[in-house]
Structure 1
Amino acid sequence: MLLEKLPAVQSLAPEEKWLLIDELWRDLARQLESSPADAQTVALLEARFAEYLANPETTGSPADEAFARLAERKRQWK
């Protein structure tokens, strides 16, 4: 786990960790804005969005359900 390599981060207070998350997210966004998107990824996202627009009631998921699925997968990886 990457966090184990950063002991100083482990000792941060929760509020400081949230600030770090925000800083990392903003930095990542800046880096991604300056690099071109992968054509295959763009095509996949466009296809999935088109599918959602055609059938929003059957292809979409509420955010809380999607996050619950991600959390379950994360538990399975450990």
Structure 2
Amino acid sequence: MHTTGVKLLHHPVVGDLDLPFETFALPDGPSQFLLTYTAEPHSPSQDALNLLASWAATKDDIERSAATHTSQPADSGEAPD
């Protein structure tokens, strides 16, 4: 088992990503591991991940805004007490 290395992935929109990874054993069991992937600072992989993150944030912001507007009660025309 590799505990560190670089995973090469191909994303259909942003292309190739080179992501260093590290594996950490979890104390709850010998077969449980936490895998972390990061992008090197100022690398093309980091730029690609930032682009994907900006799209996700934009979509989430739009959905949150739409949910807020549709979940607010209609104005009944009555003045508050």
Task: Confirm or deny a common fold (TM above 0.5).
Answer: no
Give the TM-score taking structure 1 as reference length. 0.33
Q: Higher helix share goes to which structure?
A: 1
Q: Higher strand share goes to which structure?
A: 2
Give the TM-score taking structure 2 as reference length. 0.32
Q: Greater CA radius of gyration, 1 or 2?
A: 2
